[in-house]
Amino acid sequence: MKERSLLITGGLGFLGSWTVEEAVRRGYKVIVVDALTYAANPENLSSLKVKFVVPSVRHLWGVLRVEDRRAFPVSDPPNYDGYGRVEDVEREVEEFLSSPLDALVILASVEDYELMKRLMPYVEGVIHLAAETHVDRSIEDAWDFVRAEILGFYSTVDAFRRVKGREGRFLLVSTDEVLGEVMEGALDETAPLMPRNPYAAAKSSQEHFAQSYINTYGLPITIVRPTNAYGPRQHPEKFVPKIIINALRGLPIPVYGDGRQRRVWIYAPDVARGIMDIYERGNFPDIYHIGSMDELENLALVRKILRMMGKGEDLITFVEDRPGHDRRYSLNWEKMRRLGWYPKVGLDEGLLRTIEYYAERYANRPSVRR
Ligand SMILES: NC(=O)c1ccc[n+]([C@@H]2O[C@H](COP(=O)([O-])OP(=O)(O)OC[C@H]3O[C@@H](n4cnc5c(N)ncnc54)[C@H](O)[C@@H]3O)[C@@H](O)[C@H]2O)c1
């Protein structure tokens, strides 16, 4: 086994890419497995020295299909080097580990069990983020969530069990949504799982499998539940980017129901730092909540962003509420404080950086009020 090498799944996505960067900053060489779904963006790793590879023609077809319907403006598409056969992945990985590169990105699904087993001997640990993540899509049709979350997690964690067993560390990134609606106070890590939408149910299934593997095989799996993350690189379909992009374009900003749903917001790089702090200093197995003090109603968040962008509230448009929409999530994250972690970027500064990011990509720079 090579020292300080990590497998990070879903590393071309929003939180995944911030986690890959944070790991590289801490001296890890990172192998990413990402299926390049509509939510992935190769540009997210543009600050790093990266090689992209596609395991086979089968995977390449997937990549081409996805490239066709990308939502992101990708300024500099990467070169995809095909290596043909899954057996050749070992050669790719060995070359990568002795190279000056920061990351090797394998464009494949984590459901590829053979691939996952072949990668395990080369890494000391796994951080699993690959998932379908948009609640609205899961309400429309949850098949992709069942595949990515349940089959994908099973393939990854079982490859880990078979190859690494009790050696190494496995960190599963779950979500606050598995605990369901919390009308008062904040739930700590001992609260029972109460998923209330199909996305949360799929994420809870991951946690059930993880707990069963800890109990049955004694595996070192730790679960992390972050609250709502925002920041640069998030897919435009998500709430914060949608507010900003629509405001930039003078389009209506849809607010579900009465807009009084409460969420706790945290800047994505702070989550990535939390994930890596847990990976390096946390207990295995265990559960950790990652939260912040920035709790506000959705409508208040929209108003705040509009104010910062110098836009009027006339863009706010109330639309029919999401079915089963949870009113409030809230995590007690005292345990992370004890680990020495706390969020460094407050909501005002984080939103400012986020607005600047989308303004650069989606419009001429707006005047941003601090
Ligand atoms: N963003 C948040 O607010 C938040 C909060 C709590 C937890 N999480 C969790 O963090 C993780 C990452 O969330 P995100 O917001 O960065 O998501 P994202 O949608 O931005 O990125 C997901 C990434 O996973 C990849 N992926 C999907 N299916 C895959 C598969 N079968 N094989 C390999 N790669 C696959 C996608 O291509 C994409 O790059 C998820 O597990 C999510 O449940 C996110």
CATH of the domain at 312: 3.90.25.10
Would the CB of 226 count as within 6 Å of ligand 1? yes
Share of the chain above pLDDT 70, in %: 89
Mutation to probe ligand 1, out of 9, 14, 136 (largest number of atoms < 8 A from CB): 14
* Residue 127, SS3 per DSSP: strand
| Least confident piece of the model among 55-59, 76-80, 208-212, 224-228 | 76-80
Q: Do 95 and 211 fall into the same domain?
A: yes
Is 368 a domain residue?
no
At position 37, the amino acid (one-letter code) is T
Would the CB of 45 count as within 6 Å of ligand 1? no
> Can you say how many angstroms the Cα of residue 71 is from the centroid of all Cα atoms in its chain?
17
Q: Which residue puts its alpha carbon closest to atom 7 of ligand 1?
A: 175
Mean pLDDT calculated for residue range 130-140: 95
Q: Do 202 and 344 fall into the same domain?
A: no
pLDDT band at 89 (very low <50, low <70, confident <90, very high): confident
Catalytic residue list? 176-177, 199
Would the CB of 115 count as within 6 Å of ligand 1? no
Q: Do 189 and 249 fall into the same domain?
A: no
Q: Which residue puts its alpha carbon closest to atom 41 of ligand 1?
A: 129
Is 220 a domain residue?
yes
Q: What is the per-residue pLDDT across 157-204, written as a single tens digit (0 to 9) for each? A: 999 999 999 999 999 999 999 999 998 999 999 999 999 999 999 999
Residue bearing tokens 């790089």: 269
How many folded domains does the chain comprise?
2
Cα–Cα nearest to 164, from 211, 110, 98, 119:
119
Q: Do 99 and 174 fall into the same domain?
A: yes
What is the Cα–Cα distance from 48 to 30, expressed in whole angstroms? Answer: 11
Q: Which domain holds residue 68?
A: 5-230+266-290
Is 370 a domain residue?
no
Q: Do 47 and 177 fall into the same domain?
A: yes
Is 202 a domain residue?
yes
Is 323 a domain residue?
yes
Is 369 a domain residue?
no
Strand partners, 126: 7, 170
Q: Pairing state of beta strands 316-319 and 262-267?
A: unpaired
Q: Do 117 and 36 fall into the same domain?
A: yes
| Residue 56, pLDDT score | 61
Q: Do 192 and 252 fall into the same domain?
A: no
Q: Which residue puts its alpha carbon closest to atom 42 of ligand 1?
A: 133
Task: State the CATH number of the domain containing residue 187.
Answer: 3.40.50.720
The CA 196 to ligand 1 mean position distance, Å, reads 19
